[in-house]
Amino acid sequence: MPLSVLVLNGPNLNLLGTRQPEVYGTTTLADIERDCRAKGQALGLDVEFRHSNSEGELVDLIHDARGRHAGLILNAGAYTHTSIALMDAISSVELPTVEVHLSNIHRREPFRHHSYIAKVALGQICGFGAFGYLMALEALAHHLRSPA
């Protein structure tokens, strides 16, 4: 049976495509979902792709992932920089997590430089636009097959 991973997207990412294209590009979230599914298939991973603008719902989705998914890819949007609750949720379910951002958060405003997610993630991929999700799937597949 193929391993399953959850790709989880936080606030405002539903607006990708029209939202500040100079920062986030013109790829829509539906495009990213399609590409993640194709990449997952190539890697032998089942991909569940979800979005929520609500912090509590993201916490619930992370809790529900335990026992259903082998790993998590998370773009928590602005909650990256604020949410101890999301950090604690990842610690609680103990799922290997890859943090993704479309933009290079370290080249942007200082308030985006700090990530609570980074403290509990395997690693962080940022600055490569939508391609970062595919890199994250590769990294997670590699980790699941040969954990370091």
Active site residues: 24, 101
Q: Which residues pair with 73 in a beta bridge?
A: 7, 98
Nearer to ligand DHK, 39 or 101 (CB): 101
Alpha helices in the chain (DSSP H): 21-24, 29-43, 55-65, 84-93, 131-145
Q: Shortest CA distance to 64 belongs to which of 21, 6, 13, 23?
A: 6
Q: How far is CA 142 from CA 41, 96, 98, 124, 148, in A?
A: 14, 11, 12, 15, 9
We find the least distance from the C-beta atom of residue 78 to ligand DHK, in angstroms, to be: 3
66 among annotated binding-site residues: no
Binding site for ligand DHK (CB under 6 A): 12, 75, 77-78, 80, 101-103, 105, 112
User: Quick one: 70 or 121, whose CB is closer to ligand DHK?
Assistant: 121
Residue 75 assigned ligand-binding role: yes
List the one residue out of 6, 33, 11 whose CA is nearest residue 93: 6
> Given the complex with ligand DHK, which of 62 and 99 has the nearer CB atom?
99
Report, in Å, the least distance between residue 1 CB and ligand DHK: 31
Q: Which residues are annotated as a binding site for substrate?
A: 75, 81, 88, 102-103, 112
